[in-house]
Structure 1
Amino acid sequence: MQASSVTVVGHLAADPVFRRTDTGLEITRFRIGSTPSRFDRATRQWVDQPTSWWNVSCFRALAANAAASLRRGDRVLVVGRPSVRDWTREDGRTGTSADIEAESIGHDLAWGTTSFSRVVRSERVDLPVQGEVDAMDDRIAAEIAAERERELADLEAQDAGEVVARA
Structure 2
Amino acid sequence: MPAMLQPHIEHGTAGQQPPLRLLSWNGLLAMGDGLAVRAGWAGQDRSASWLLSARPSAVPSARRMTAVRLTAWGLRDHAENADLLVGALVTDALRHATARLRLSLWFEDDLLRCEIEDDRPALAFAASCHRAADRAADRGHNPLLARLACCWGVAGKVVWFELVTGERACEHA
**Greater share of strand residues, 1 or 2?**
1
**Greater share of helix residues, 1 or 2?**
2
> So what's the TM-score if we normalise by structure 1?
0.26
> So what's the TM-score if we normalise by structure 2?
0.25
User: Max radius of gyration: which structure?
Assistant: 2
